[in-house]
Amino acid sequence: MTLFYLICGSIFFTFVSVNEKKRYFLEIAYDGTAYHGWQIQPNAMSVQEKLNHALHTFLREEIETIGAGRTDTGVHAKQLYVHFDSSQPILNDNPSRALQALNALLPFDISVQRILTVAEDAHARFDATERSYEYHLHCQKNPFLINKSWLMRDIPDIEKMNEAAQYLLGTKDFECFSKSNTQVFTNICTIKEARWEQNDEGFVFHITADRFLRNMVRAIVGTLLEIGVKGKPISYIEDVLASKSRSKAGVSVPAHGLYLTRVIYPYIQEN
C-alpha cells in the first residue's frame, strides 16, 4: 500500500493506493474418494478446504472459494469451476508457471486445469447455465474400477431405461428425486439430456440440466434401475414424477459412480 499526501493551503489530503482485487475462475478436477464432498466440513476433509489452503499458501492472503455446486462424499468431478478474489496479479507474468505452482501445492487427487480472469461480478454458482453428470456402473468384477464405478450383479435392460429416461426431459417438478428437508426456492429443473450408453467397461448414464437438486442424479439412476433391473414398467417413471414423493422413487445409488463432467457459462469458452 502506498500513501500520497497533497497539501492545499492548510488542508491535508491523503490518498491511499492499493492493489485492487480481481476475480478469478479456476477450472478444477478431482477424485472424490478421499473427501467428504466439495464443501468445507467442520470435522472432515473436503476438496474446498484443500483448495483454499493451497491458494492461501500460493497467494499469501486469505482466500475463500465459491464453487459451481457441491458434490457429496465420494463423488468425482471431471470439471468444476470455482471463483475467488485476489489482489495478486496471478496471470500477469507467467500463467503456465502459476498453474504449475498451484498444482504443486495440491494433493495428487485434485488438479487445476485453467486459471481465468473474469468480470468482478462473475459468479461460479449463479452464472452457470448448464451442468452435466455421468453415472458409471459395471457388471463384471474389475479391480481398476474400485471407487470409480458401481459394481452390479445384474445386467440392466438399457433399451427400457432409455425409453423411460425420455419422460425426464423438459421442465418439470423433480421433488420426487430430491433429498428430504433441503432448503431450495424451487424444485423445477429443465433436463435437456437423459440417456444410457454401453461401453467396454459397462454402462454410463448421461444427464444434462440447467440445475440439479440434492441427490437428484443418484435417485434418478436408482429409479431407472427399478425398470431396467427389477422389471417395473416404463410407466413407473411417470407415476414417480406425478407423486412428488421421494419415497415413491428408487433408492439412491452409491456415490462413487457419479461424476460432474461439465459446467457451462455464457462467457467461458469450452476447451
Binding positions = 133
C-alpha closest to that of 88 among 19, 25, 3? 19
DSSP 8-state assignment for residue 120? T
Taking CA atoms, 26 is separated from 9, 52, 84, 103, in Å, by 50, 12, 8, 12
Q: Answer whether 102's CB lies under 8 Å from 114's CB.
A: no
The residue written with cell numbers 476433509 in the block is 45
CA distance 31 to 18: 38
Is 116 in contact with 59 (CB distance < 8 Å)? Answer: no
Give the position of cell 428408487. Answer: 250
What are 90's three cell numbers?
Answer: 496471478
Distance CA 72, CA 35 (A): 9
Residues making up the binding site for substrate: 133
Query: Whose CA is closest to 54, among 95, 84, 14?
Result: 84
> Cβ atoms within 10 A of the Cβ of 62, count?
9
Contacts of 31 (CB under 8 A, 6+ apart): 76, 109, 110, 147
The closest of 165, 129, 169 to 265, measured between CA atoms, is 129
Phi, psi of 70 (to 5 degrees): -120, 135
Which residue among 72, 85, 93, 127 is the active-site one? 72
Q: Is 72 a catalytic residue?
A: yes
Query: Strand 66-67 relative to strand 11-17: parallel, antiparallel, unpaired?
Result: unpaired
Residues classed as catalytic: 72
